[in-house]
Structure 1
Amino acid sequence: MILLFLVLRDFGLASPKQKILAFLIVGIIGASISVYTYQQNQQNQQEIALQRAFLRGETLLCKGIKVNNQTFNLVSGTLSFLGKKQTPMKDVLVDLDSCQTLQKDPLIQPQ
């Protein structure tokens, strides 16, 4: 902030209104960066959770396709699933972002 004040003074922006405007702009930019970083962090955590579930052998639902480690391989470079050879899903490519875990309803008890 002190550096910003010195730069503003060098450019002749020394009036209180100009200082307030400059600080507001910097504050908005800082808040925007914080929100973006938070959203990216949430997305990364979701992707990591999906990868772990897949590697544990859980079935994921991706665009109506059931994805598990018996019929798909995880391609970590592209964060996608590629169907294994000699399975009905051969050469099917599914993006990890389109997936969600299949969760059983905790209110339904087995009989």
Structure 2
Amino acid sequence: MFLIAFAVWFEYKNLKQDSKTILLIEKFNHGENIVCKEGNVSNQFFNYESGTQSFISKKDNLIIDIKRCEL
């Protein structure tokens, strides 16, 4: 019973994170600012790298993980 409850909780947590990531990428692609712990991110100054799920600065070597950003 514990194993089933853990599996359901784990799947719910992953689905929640995936939907948040999709919404953040949509906002980024539409040119909106995204608030992250390191600062604001926009497609004017950053590129999105889908392999690492992070934003990479066009000028500096700044890399911001998408998990550190909020909707």
TM over 0.5: yes
Query: RMSD in angstroms over aligned alpha carbons?
Result: 1.1
Q: Spell out the pairing of 1:1-111 with structure 2 (5 A cutoff).
A: 27-85=1-59, 90-101=60-71
Greater radius of gyration (CA): 1
Structure having greater relative contact order (Cα 8 Å, sep ≥ 6): 2
What percentage of aligned pairs have identical amino acids?
A: 34
Q: CA deviation at 1:82?
A: 0.4
Deviations 1:31-58 (A, max 9, x none): 1101110111101111111111101111
TM, length-normalised to structure 1: 0.60
Distance across 1 between alignment mates of 2:9 and 2:62: 35
User: How many aligned positions are there?
Assistant: 71
Distance across 1 between alignment mates of 2:57 and 2:6: 39
